[in-house]
Amino acid sequence: MKKIQINNFTESLYYDELSNGLKVYVVPMKNKKNFSSMIVTKYGGRDINFSIDGNSYNTPSGIAHFLEHKMFERDIDPFKFYGKFGTDVNAATSDDYTCYYFIGSKCFKKSLKYLLNWIQKLDITDEQVEKEKGIILEEASMYKDNPSRVIYNKIKENIFVNDPKKNKVIGTDEDIKSITKNDLDLCYNNFYIPNNMYLLVAGNVNPTEVFQIADSETKKFKKKETKGIPIYGKEPDNVAKQYEEIYMNIGVPKVNLSYKINKDSFKVLNLTPFELDLYLHFLINISLGVTSEIRQEWIKKELFTDAFYRISEIESHYVIEFHANSNKEEELLQSLKKYLHNLELDQDSFEREKKIWIANEIRAIENPTNTLYSILDDLLDYNCFISNKIECIKNLSFSTLLKVRDLINYDNEIIIKILPLQLQDKNSK
């Protein structure tokens, strides 16, 4: 068990890899009453094509999420088990991972033992698989009424050409209907293996005890060298579809402009992935965030009522997304595109940006659940936990920020608009 202090805080991270390859991370927080624990497999909505021992497989979209639902099928199911202690339990599937977690304040040891045993077995019947389809189709139906969700999925679909991240995590209706027990078994057996998983724990716990339990409860959970290896394909710089309009039952139009940016553009700067992420966030927030001049100008011209940005990534590319609710979406888009080619940055804003990110790091370790996600994000993005983030933030330099700005290439963009249904009637008449 290794130990490392988190920033200049009183909290430390204890971590190690068990002999079966399961990586364990623990942050004890003495003054909290509750605790939170999560087991994660690096297998998500994106991992539909993979190879095992040289053979390749294509599975239906939505299968990781379907599997997450079926993991709850057990003699004493997780809701029943954790219900006894009033402990919250749930699971979630993203593009890149599936996680199972509990948050409670009572019977920690039993809770952790159950979590570790829960994910070591999948035992389902054809009938149980069929039964789940109605539930998941209703879940999918609910998401189709959520404009933010629709736009999020459209961005992925239209920006990626080969990468399976273009698929919805929940899958298409047709794919959900086609999923069989055999599909689920195949994915479970090749991705729910200790050397593809993390165990994270934070809160009022004893780290030595956590490692002991993790070790003893996973004795039969064997490492597997021939695990599933996801096939993502080589992603080109161009986008799949440049423009799309969608009509929905909404009042104010929503517009999105996203750029696909090859990470190789920044290679000359020799930055760590974490530093590059920070510089990009700094850059966008300084130039388009709440303190930018241009934003005030757009607000005064009533170009939007609400706007935000987001940066996501795959191994080879960044995706920078600009979102706005706007009644003058064309004018906003034109103005935004023009502005991006000529971003103004100043040193004062840069120094303020550091304070924001330092504050974020402090808030990230304020409760057990936030702490887990903060560790998980690092593991997924950087393959390790970065314990001295505040120091890294303080060391960023303004001149490097300017270089990052100059290296961004805005050639590959997509635009997506969600428009009110009334406009569709008008447009078709």
List contacts with other proteins (CB under 8 A).
8-9, 31-34, 79-80, 83-87, 104-106, 131-136, 138-139, 141-142, 144-145, 147, 150, 153, 172-173, 246, 248-252, 289-293, 295-296, 299-300, 302, 305-306, 325, 352-353, 355-356, 358-360, 362-363, 365-367, 421
Q: Could you tell me the sign of the dihedral formed by the alpha carbons of 110, 370, 259, 140, in that order?
A: positive
* Burial environment of residue 120 by CB neighbours within 10 A (0 to 12, 13 to 18, 19 or more): middle
Closest distance to other proteins from the beta carbon of 5 (Å) = 14
Closer to other proteins at the Cβ: 95 or 353? 353
* Burial environment of residue 28 by CB neighbours within 10 A (0 to 12, 13 to 18, 19 or more): buried
Question: For the sheet containing 254-262, what is the strand order?
Answer: 243-248, 413-420, 254-262, 317-325, 306-313
Q: How far apart are CA 187 and CA 169, in angstroms?
A: 15
Q: How far apart are CA 132 and CA 22, in angstroms?
A: 30
Closer to other proteins at the Cβ: 269 or 362? 362
Closest distance to other proteins from the beta carbon of 332 (Å) = 14
In the structure encoding, which two tokens stand for residue 91, read together? 């699971």
Closer to other proteins at the Cβ: 130 or 264? 130
| Beta strands 55-58; 49-52: pairing state | antiparallel
Q: For the chain, how are helix, strand and coil distributed in percent, rounded to 5?
A: 45, 20, 35
Q: How far apart are CA 287 and CA 104, in angstroms?
A: 42
Closest distance to other proteins from the beta carbon of 228 (Å) = 28
Nearest to 324 by CA among 260, 253, 259, 258: 253
Closest distance to other proteins from the beta carbon of 86 (Å) = 3
Q: How far apart are CA 32 and CA 76, in angstroms?
A: 29
Closest distance to other proteins from the beta carbon of 168 (Å) = 9
Closer to other proteins at the Cβ: 59 or 325? 325
The residue type found at 333 is: L
Closest distance to other proteins from the beta carbon of 120 (Å) = 22
Closest distance to other proteins from the beta carbon of 395 (Å) = 18
Closest distance to other proteins from the beta carbon of 230 (Å) = 26
Closest distance to other proteins from the beta carbon of 108 (Å) = 13
Q: How far apart are CA 129 and CA 180, in angstroms?
A: 7
Closer to other proteins at the Cβ: 197 or 365? 365
Closer to other proteins at the Cβ: 263 or 295? 295
Closer to other proteins at the Cβ: 3 or 84? 84
Residue 144 CB-half CA count within 13 A: 10
Closest distance to other proteins from the beta carbon of 291 (Å) = 5
Q: Could you tell me the sign of the dihedral formed by the alpha carbons of 342, 282, 287, 350, in that order?
A: negative
Closest distance to other proteins from the beta carbon of 40 (Å) = 21
* Burial environment of residue 214 by CB neighbours within 10 A (0 to 12, 13 to 18, 19 or more): buried
Closer to other proteins at the Cβ: 236 or 420? 420
CB 26 within 8 A of CB 4: no
Length of the chain: 429
Closer to other proteins at the Cβ: 141 or 409? 141
Closer to other proteins at the Cβ: 219 or 363? 363
Q: What is the DSSP string of 323-356?
A: EEE-SSHHHHHHHHHHHHTT----HHHHHHHHHH
Closer to other proteins at the Cβ: 85 or 232? 85
